[in-house]
Amino acid sequence: MNQTTLQSSPSYLISNGNLIDGTGSKAQNNCSVLIDRGVISAVGALAEQRAKEVDQLVTVDAAGGTIMPGLIDCHCHISFDEPRSNDELFFHRREGLATLVAAANARKVLRAGVTSFFDANCIFDVGLDLRDGIEGGVVEGPRMATGGNVLITSVGGTAGRLLPESGKLGYAVMVETIDDIVREVRRQAKKGVDWIKVHVSGLPTRRTMLGAESGEVQAWRFEELKAVCDVAHSLGLPVVGHCRDAQSTYDATAAGFDMLLHATYMDERALEIVSDKKIPIVPTLTFQANLADFGDRVGASPHLQKIFRDEIQESSIMLRKAFEAGVPILSGSESGFSIVPYGQWHYRELELFVEHLGMTPLQAIRSATQEGGRVFGLDGKLGAIKEGFIADVLVVNGDPSADLKVLAKHDNIKHIFKNGLKVDQSQPLAESWQLPGWRVVEFSSQVLTNEIAEQ
C-alpha cells in the first residue's frame, strides 16, 4: 500500500456496533473501533479516547449492526471466470482478456466482504499479474496471494484425458520427473508466486479392482512430493496440496507440505499425522454442497450430485476430529466455477462448518478471518479486530454470530475497509459479459433422434 495514500487518508471511528473480533471470543456489545493509517489503532473505550486526538476523523455509526474483520477466502480461482466445464476452461480462454476479466471479478469478491483471498492456481500467469495490479493500485480488489500453474502428473487432476502428456494447458503444468519438478518450481519462483500448488490426487479415467471405491487416487510418489517441498522451501516458498484421498493427505503431510486443500476421505492414519503436525486444512466443502443441493436446478448430473454429497458425509467426521485436535481449519469457497460464482457463496463454507464440523458460528467466523492470515505470512497481523492489526474491517447489518446468512446479502454489508481505506460501494459492477469464443457453445442440449422429431 502506498504510504502517501495512507498518511493522507482520514482516520475512521466506527462506533455503536456489536464487535465480533475474529478470535472466536464472545461478541462485545456497543463497541468502538478506531482505524488510523491502515491499522486498528484502538478498540473499545480506548478508541473513543484516542479519537479525540485525531485531526482528520470520519465517524461511522454501526448502530444495529456488527463490526467484524474482513473475510478471508483461502481457496479461490480468480482467473477461471466461472466455466461450466474443463473444456471451456482449457480451450476458451485468452491470456490478456483473462486478466481483464479477473480484475472485474476481483471487485465482485471485494464487494462480498472478502478483503483477502488465496488464488490457489491460475491459467497463464493471470494470478501474478492481477496480484501485482491490485498491490500497485492499478485495479481495485482484495489482498491477494497466488500460486502459478499447478504441478500435475498426466494422471492427476480432474480433467482426465484433456490433460496433455507434457507442457502446459489451462491451469496445469505437467511434470513427470524430479528434474521437471526442480525446473518448474524454480521457474515459478522466478515469476514471483507466493505458493507452489501440487495436485497430489486426481480422478482416475477408469476405476480398477486395485483402486479406491470412492475419492481420488494419489498421482505422485512420496519422493516426488518431497522433492517439491525441498526445492520450494529452499527458495522460501510454501507448498499447498490438493488431496482428496487418505494416502495423498498422509504423504503430502509427511513430505512437508504447508497446507492442504480438501483433505477429504482421511483415514485414522492420515488423521493422526495431520493432527500431530497441525497442518492447516482448507476443506472447501462449498463446491460439493452447492452441486449436491442445487445441481438439479442448473442441469448438473445426478451422479455427480451423489458423489459430492457422499464426499461431504464421509469426510466430515474426520475433519471434525482434526478440528477438535487443534488442526487449523481455514475457510475457502473455490469460487471461480459456474457452481460457485464470484461474490455469491463466500459465506457458505461457514454454514457448512457449523453443520458438518460442529463449529459454533463464532468458531466458523474465526476460520474465515483470523485463521486465514497465515496464508499471507501475516499470522498475528491480519484477520482480527485487535490493536495493531491491519485494518480490514466490515460493518454489517444484523448479527452473523446468530445468523451467518447475514453475510450472504450484499445489502447487509454497509461498509468495507481494506488496509484502512474505505471501499466505494456506490459504483455498479458488471454482472456478466459477452466475449467472442469465451464460452462453450453447444449444437444442442440433447441428441435429435427421430422419436424426438416426431413428438
Mean pLDDT (whole number) for 15-19: 97
Distance CA 145, CA 376 (A): 6
Amino acid at 134: I
Q: Is residue 204 over pLDDT 80?
A: no
Q: Tens digit of pLDDT for each residue in 41-72?
A: 999 999 999 999 998 999 999 999 999 999 99
pLDDT band at 301 (very low <50, low <70, confident <90, very high): confident
The stretch 164-168 carries a mean pLDDT of: 90
| Rounded-to-integer distance, Cα 113 and Cα 410, Å | 8
- The answer to whether the pTM exceeds 0.85 is yes
Among candidate residues 244, 177, 175, 250, the one with its CA nearest the CA of residue 215: 244
Q: What is the pLDDT of residues 64-114, one digit of tens each?
A: 999 999 999 999 999 999 999 899 999 999 999 999 999 999 999 999 999
Residue 205 confidence (pLDDT) above 70: no
Neighbours of 446 (CB within 10 A): 7
With residue 228 as reference, give the H or E element that holds it: helix 222-234
Domains and CATH numbers, the chain: 3-70+389-422 (2.30.40.10), 71-346 (3.20.20.140)
Is the pLDDT at 212 greater than 80? The verdict is no
Query: Which pLDDT band, with edges at 50, 70 and 90, does 208 fall under?
Result: low
For the record, the C-alpha cell of 273 comes out as 499425522
Widest CA span of the chain, in angstroms?
82
Block residue for cell numbers 445426478: 302
Q: Report how far residue 268's alpha carbon sits from residue 418's, in angstroms, rounded to the nearest whole number.
A: 41
As a whole-number percent, the residues of the chain with pLDDT over 70 amount to 96
